[in-house]
Amino acid sequence: MVIADGRGTPGRGPAWEKAVHHDTLSGPLEDQVVALHAAAEYCPDLDLSRVGITGWSYGGTLAAAAVLRRPDVFHAAISGAGPSDQRLYDTHWRERFLGHPDEFGADYDRSSPITDAAKLERPLLLVHGLADDNVVAAHTLRLSAALLTAGRPHQVLPLSGATHLPTDEAAAEGLMRHQLHFLKTHLDA
């Protein structure tokens, strides 16, 4: 398992945080690729032909973008509660990084995995709590609709009664088992 903070992660300094201004996906996704390759140099047993990526919230958006934009590196993804439609997400948060959508519409599109839906060629599991009031389930539904329209198979796991992150112990355990099964199914050689 490799965990890497990409550009834009808070706490690394203003320049690091501002590196995602007007594009919240390209730099952070490249940082994940660089981190993975650095880990492989350090640990030669790492099998780069079977790489899965998971994430929740922004990490979910990044995970979906990983299999859409870099299927040469990432072979399966689990996207949990990802804000995939940047125009639908919290105005203050999005405009802080992307500007006003009427002025910077291309930046919103560039920062959305929905734009790349037709490129999906790897397994993708979308997970979302139906009671999520932070990143509403419409984000996942819109990404799924774009994937369906493009004829790209994927899986959607709705979590009834769950908010932004499942807190019920039994549900969280079941979700972890489901995710593990998904990754084993799609990454085992």
**Of the residues 31, 107, 116, 132, which is catalytic?**
132
Tokens of 51: 């790489």
Tokens of 150: 């493009």
164: annotated active-site residue: yes
**Does 77 reside within a domain?**
yes
Q: Tell whether 91 is covered by a domain.
A: yes
Catalytic residue among 57, 109, 178, 186: 57
Q: Count of domains in the chain?
A: 1
Between 5 and 43, where is the model more confident? 43
Asked if residue 89 belongs to a domain, the reply is: yes
CATH number at residue 170: 3.40.50.1820
Our measurement of the distance from residue 108's CA atom to the centroid of its chain's CA atoms, rounded to an integer in Å, reads 15
Least confident of 3-7, 60-64, 67-71, 163-167: 3-7
Query: Who's near 175: CB < 8 A, 6+ residues apart?
Result: 127, 157, 159, 166
Q: What is the pLDDT of residues 33-70, one digit of tens each?
A: 999 999 999 999 999 999 999 999 999 999 999 999 99
Q: What is the pLDDT of residue 189?
A: 62
Residue 30: pLDDT above 90? yes
Identify the pLDDT of residue 17.
79
Name 120's Cβ contacts closer than 8 Å, sequence gap at least 6. Answer: 67, 68, 147, 150, 152, 154
Is residue 57 flagged as an active site residue? yes
Is the pLDDT confidence value at 115 over 70?
yes
The verdict on residue 8 lying in a domain is no
Q: Which domain holds residue 177?
A: 14-187
